[in-house]
């Protein structure tokens, strides 16, 4: 009796599906990806079924009119709702490895398996880097590449969602570098009080207000914010006695609902995550008071990022050198960007980070 075998082409497809699943599952921000408007990183796959180089995300600003009551006329008193748009551009992103026949048995599946671990790690890091670099980007420009003029212009538009150190008064005349220089290691380290202030900014001062993330796994759709912190800022927060006591009181139910990963902190409706991969990207150098080191922490709510996919990760093999060298490449067509909506008269004028409060804190670092 002959055994039924799976066609090679189907095996490749199976491998690609598994590869994409593992990349999506293993990246540092995996729990924040979702298709809902309540997701921190909202995913759209519109371009999977049609051509195009960008996906449009829409913002419908909340209604603020008082209710029409009693027999008063509603007709003629309708509220005009404001809509804004933001485009996420996709691009082809890829990498490859190559092995010689002497080192690898000749099979499309084994070639893919040979480079699976290293290529998967690369793809995971590529996804993470787009989020990490985007988190503190200045209107689409990587922070380390942005000019002082660009940073100052960004600060003008985002003054309602930025905190320098412990106090709003550290914000100095919309000058980014001067504001950083007001942060000192005595009063302006990352702390429970500063974190709560960031949340208050998100809920009251920010215009439009920043909505919390709604959990899809917790009972009753628990709402919360997520704060991503540079390792130095995270360690300063963890050393705060208020935070130390609070962790003893974190409900086991929260952990069971998979809102946490190992090492996360919880305070005041906020999950705090240490982002080790951002140790360089979110370190702004000795720019604080008395040359204090300043690092970043970012409080995020729903739709902080948009992720657009035109093609998921897949593989291509190639033979060279008279079939002695056999390589495998992984690639995807996608983009992940911090959402920015216009706050001026025109749709995209005076861009404002949609759902992030950016915090800059002094730190003594590793002492």
Q: Which residues of the chain have pLDDT under 70?
A: 1-16, 19, 60-64, 79, 81-82, 101-115, 215-221, 249, 251-262
Cis peptide before 208 (omega within 30 of 0): yes
Residue 194's SS3 state is: helix
In angstroms, what CA-CA distances link 287 with 137, 177, 181, 183, 306? 18, 8, 6, 9, 31
Model pLDDT, residue 16:
67
In angstroms, the CA 219 to CA 2 distance is 51
In angstroms, the CA 82 to CA 234 distance is 38
In angstroms, the CA 351 to CA 259 distance is 31
The pTM score is 0.86
**Which residues are 334's β-sheet partners?**
91, 309
Edge-to-edge order in the sheet of strand 41-44: 33-34, 41-44, 305-320, 325-338, 91-100
What does R_g of the chain's alpha carbons equal in angstroms?
24
Model pLDDT, residue 117:
76
Count of alpha carbons within 13 angstroms of residue 345, beta-carbon side: 0
- What tokens does 41 get? 């990183």
In angstroms, what CA-CA distances link 104 with 68, 110, 314, 324, 326? 74, 7, 21, 10, 9
Beta-carbon contacts of residue 137 (< 8 Å; ≥ 6 apart): 143, 146, 338
In angstroms, the CA 348 to CA 340 distance is 8
Contact 305, 40 (CB under 8 A): yes
Residue 106's SS3 state is: coil
């Amino acid at each position: 009796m002959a055994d039924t075998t799976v066609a090679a082409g189907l095996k490749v497809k199976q491998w690609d599906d598994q590869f994409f699943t593992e990349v999506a599952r293993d990246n540092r921000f995996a729990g924040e990806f979702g298709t809902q408007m309540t997701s921190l990183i909202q995913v759209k796959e519109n371009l999977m079924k049609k051509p195009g180089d960008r996906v449009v995300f829409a913002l419908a600003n909340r209604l603020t009119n008082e209710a029409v009551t009693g027999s008063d006329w509603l007709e003629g008193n309708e509220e005009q709702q404001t809509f804004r748009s933001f485009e996420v551009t996709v691009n082809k992103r890829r990498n490859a490895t190559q092995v010689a026949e002497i080192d690898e048995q000749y099979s499309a599946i084994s070639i893919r398996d040979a480079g699976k671990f290293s290529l998967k790690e690369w793809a995971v890091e590529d996804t993470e880097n787009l989020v990490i670099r985007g988190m503190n980007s200045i209107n689409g420009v990587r922070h380390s590449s942005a000019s002082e003029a660009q940073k100052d212009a960004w600060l003008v538009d985002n003054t309602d969602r930025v905190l320098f150190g412990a106090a709003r008064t550290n914000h100095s005349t919309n000058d980014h570098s001067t504001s950083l220089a007001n942060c000192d290691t005595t009063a302006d380290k990352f702390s429970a009080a500063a974190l709560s202030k960031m949340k208050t900014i998100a809920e009251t001062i920010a215009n439009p207000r920043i909505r919390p993330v709604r959990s899809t796994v917790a009972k009753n759709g628990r709402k919360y914010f997520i704060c991503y912190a540079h390792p130095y800022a995270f360690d300063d927060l963890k050393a705060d006695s208020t935070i130390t006591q609070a962790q003893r009181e974190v409900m086991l139910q929260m952990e069971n609902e998979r809102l946490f990963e190992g090492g996360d902190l919880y305070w005041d409706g906020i999950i705090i995550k240490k982002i080790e991969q951002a140790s360089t990207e979110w370190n702004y150098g000795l720019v604080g008071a008395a040359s204090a080191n300043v690092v970043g922490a970012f409080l995020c709510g729903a739709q902080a990022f948009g992720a657009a996919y035109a093609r998921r990760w897949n593989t291509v093999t190639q033979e060279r050198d008279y079939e002695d060298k056999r390589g495998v490449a992984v690639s995807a067509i996608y983009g992940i960007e911090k959402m920015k909506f216009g706050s001026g008269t025109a749709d995209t004028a005076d861009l404002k980070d949609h759902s992030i409060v950016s915090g800059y804190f002094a730190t003594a670092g590793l002492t």
